[in-house]
Amino acid sequence: MTDTRNEQDADAGTTEALRQGPVRRFSVLITLTLIVLCNTIILLGIWASGINLDSLFHAPDRFNPGRDECVRYNWYKVSGVQQPVRLCYEWINLSDPTGNTHTFQEDTDIVLGADGKLHYEPGERAAARLFILLAFAGTVLALGMALSKFLIARYRLRLEAMSRIKPS
């Protein structure tokens, strides 16, 4: 009786070892496929949203009268001042070797400080866009991992069901 139980345990161990190979290969295949698929979805999402990653991660250009030459002026509403103030809208940065003009970003607020000088306040929009981008990427990755676990578990159950049907 003990020998029969040991033989059954040995057969079960052998069967389990034979099942491990296909499950391992399937899980590697699913993992690699989902890595490519999730990254493609994230990149397509970034492209479709129109988010400019350069402007998202870089500080906005600001006019500095000491190193820049103003090309065009514009009137802006300043918090703390009743009348609009004339500020530089487009300028050339003399230390920039490309010679491209830099422009004032519309989402930057200008406020009158306690010292009587004008100060830039970058808007909250950049932080919100970054949060939305990270939330989208996290959601895609979480769904990819859940899908991977589901598919591997389903494949393992199908292998077990097939091994029960086949007579050994």
Residue 55's Cβ-count burial label (10 Å; 0-12, 13-18, 19+) is middle
45 contacts: CB under 8 Å, gap ≥ 6: 136, 137, 140
The answer to whether residues 8 and 126 touch, using CB atoms and an 8 Å cutoff, is no
State residue 26's pLDDT score.
Answer: 94
- Output the six-digit token pair for 77: 């509403």
CA within 13 Å, CB half, 32:
5
Mean pLDDT of the chain: 81
Is the pLDDT at 29 greater than 90? The verdict is yes
Give me the mean pLDDT over the 39-46 stretch.
92
136 contacts: CB under 8 Å, gap ≥ 6: 42, 45
Q: What's the one-letter identity of residue 29? A: L
The answer to whether residues 13 and 20 touch, using CB atoms and an 8 Å cutoff, is no
Q: Measure the CA–CA gap between 129 and 51, rounded to whole angstroms.
A: 8
Radius of gyration in angstroms for the set of CA atoms belonging to the chain, rounded to a whole number:
31
Give residue-wise pLDDT tens across range 66-81: 888 989 998 888 877 8
